[in-house]
């Protein structure tokens, strides 16, 4: 009986043969707390970081980062604090905030627009140790938020001031008579990533806006479900979407940026392939690409050729990242899942890859212009 490589919805409705399904992890855990390889987002009080990116807390602790001691949680009758946005009251007068909110009462979004009559101030608070970026969607380099002195303890603050009269690529979008007659809404889109010059499955995109009434109200709206910045598709060697392939047949994983205007080159920076045993929860994983380099050990272990490269899509309209390999099985009968990050280049990406025998990867990038 042949092993079958199929593309489907997480294995649902598939043949009972040995199935290898392509699923993009990013579609299910996007923009959530992630303790894996993300500066400042660790697990506290002895918590350990799970493969999926969430914290496994020791007994007596809970919360996304294990930062809340269970015995200190207050009942509603004993709580004097007004915790907002899903915050948890503890020690009677303190609030433990969920991911995305900060402040004494969890009243402050970690990314928000502050409004003035002639400008929008975009503010982002991140944990100390943050190594990612926050920038306006129109241009990562020119429209980045810069670090400023923080007014909140133990948090890093990033900020950008955009005048309403700005005519550069960082200009705001102006919508008159919205939401009411006489109002003016100024809006922009903000991207937040955990790693510099990369975009991974748990990074986020959101709208921030100012409604210009007498109060100059500011607001933040998540749009991650409609503005995912790249999509992955499996192709055969003719460039057609794959429905089913026998194991060991050739396959191309294509990663295409979606709606990012200043990207002229893109390559896969990191790719990990894994399967999970549905009965035992055992995870079997293999890192294929690290720092843009296909690891020799992965090719030797899987006994398949792997190629990481960038080229124009079939329509000739944009650059896409591609990984060429052969279909393979990690756990018989279990889907094959992917964790990936992309690197964007201002010009065409040219990779010169050198992999050491100790699994580490070195990469030299030549791009059309500086990063």
CA angle (71 as vertex; 67, 72 as ends), nearest 5: 65
Three-class SS state of 119: strand
Query: What is the rounded distance in angstroms from the CA atom of residue 112 to the CA atom of residue 159?
Result: 10
Reported as a single tens digit per residue, the pLDDT across 233-258 is 788 878 777 756 677 788 888 888 76
Of all residues in the chain, the percent with pLDDT exceeding 90 is 18
E strand map for 144-290: 146-148, 155-163, 173-176, 184-193, 198-199, 204-212, 217-222, 230-235, 244-246, 250-257, 265-276, 283-290
Cβ-contact 341, 269 below 8 angstroms = yes
Residue with tokens 């910045």: 229
- Summary mean pLDDT of the chain: 75
**Regarding the domain with residue range 229-366, which homologous superfamily does it belong to in the CATH classification?**
Zona pellucida, ZP-C domain (2.60.40.4100)
Query: What is the rounded distance in angstroms from the CA atom of residue 293 to the CA atom of residue 282?
Result: 27
Three-class SS state of 299: helix
Q: What is the pLDDT at residue 1?
A: 34
Reported as a single tens digit per residue, the pLDDT across 169-218 is 899 988 887 777 777 888 898 888 887 777 766 677 888 888 877 666 77
Cβ-contact 25, 40 below 8 angstroms = no
Strand partners, 243: none
Query: What is the rounded distance in angstroms from the CA atom of residue 76 to the CA atom of residue 220?
Result: 29
pLDDT surpasses 50 at 10: no
Cβ-contact 198, 257 below 8 angstroms = no
Indicate if the alpha-carbon torsion angle 19, 254, 9, 38 is positive or negative: positive
- Per residue in 27-49, is it b (16+ CB within 10 Å) or e — as a string? eeebbebbbbebbbbebeeebeb
Q: What is the mean pLDDT of residues 117-136?
A: 90
Residue with tokens 């040995």: 18
Please give the residue that has the higher pLDDT: either 25 or 254.
254
The set of residues, in sequence order, having a beta carbon less than 8 Å from that of 316 and lying 6+ positions away, is none
pLDDT surpasses 90 at 26: no
Q: What is the pLDDT at residue 90?
A: 95
The model carries a pTM of 0.60
Reported as a single tens digit per residue, the pLDDT across 301-314 is 777 788 888 888 77
Strand partners, 217: 211
Q: What is the mean pLDDT of residues 62-91?
A: 92
The set of residues, in sequence order, having a beta carbon less than 8 Å from that of 173 and lying 6+ positions away, is 186, 187, 188
First CA to last CA across the chain, in angstroms? 50
Q: What is the pLDDT at residue 360?
A: 38
Q: How far from 261 is each of 138, 229, 317, CA to CA, in Å?
A: 6, 11, 12
């Amino acid at each position: 009986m042949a092993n079958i490589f199929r593309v489907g919805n997480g294995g649902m409705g598939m043949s009972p043969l040995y199935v290898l399904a392509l699923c993009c992890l990013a579609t299910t855990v996007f923009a959530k707390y992630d303790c894996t390889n993300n500066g400042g987002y660790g697990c506290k009080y002895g918590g350990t970081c799970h493969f999926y990116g969430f914290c496994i807390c020791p007994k007596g602790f809970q919360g996304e980062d294990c930062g809340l001691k269970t015995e200190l949680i207050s009942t509603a009758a004993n709580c004097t604090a007004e915790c907002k946005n899903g915050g948890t009251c503890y020690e009677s007068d303190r609030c433990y905030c969920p991911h995305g909110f900060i402040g004494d009462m969890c009243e402050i979004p970690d990314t928000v627009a502050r409004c003035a009559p002639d400008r929008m101030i975009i503010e982002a608070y991140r944990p100390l140790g943050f190594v990612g970026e926050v920038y306006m969607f129109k241009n990562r380099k020119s429209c980045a938020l810069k670090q400023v002195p923080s007014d909140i303890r133990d948090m890093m603050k990033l900020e950008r001031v955009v005048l309403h009269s700005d005519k550069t690529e960082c200009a705001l979008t102006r919508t008159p008579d919205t939401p009411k007659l006489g109002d003016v809404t100024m809006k922009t889109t903000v991207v937040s990533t955990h790693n510099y010059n990369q975009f991974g499955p748990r990074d986020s995109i959101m709208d921030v806006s100012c409604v210009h009434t007498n109060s100059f109200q500011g607001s933040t709206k998540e749009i991650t479900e409609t503005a995912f910045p790249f999509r992955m598709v499996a192709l055969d060697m003719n460039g057609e979407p794959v429905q089913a392939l026998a194991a060991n047949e050739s396959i191309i994983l294509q990663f295409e940026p979606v709606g990012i205007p200043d990207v002229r080159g893109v390559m896969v920076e990191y790719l990990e392939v894994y399967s999970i045993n549905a009965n035992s929860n055992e995870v079997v994983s293999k890192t294929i690409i690290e720092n843009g380099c296909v690891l020799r050990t992965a090719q030797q272990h899987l006994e398949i050729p792997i190629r990481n490269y960038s080229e124009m899509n079939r329509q000739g309209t944009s650059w896409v990242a591609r990984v060429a390999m052969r279909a393979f099985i990690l756990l018989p009968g279990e889907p094959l899942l992917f964790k990936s990050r992309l690197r964007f280049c201002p010009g065409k990406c040219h990779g010169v890859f050198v992999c050491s025998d100790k699994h580490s990867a070195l990469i030299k990038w030549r791009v059309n212009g500086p990063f």
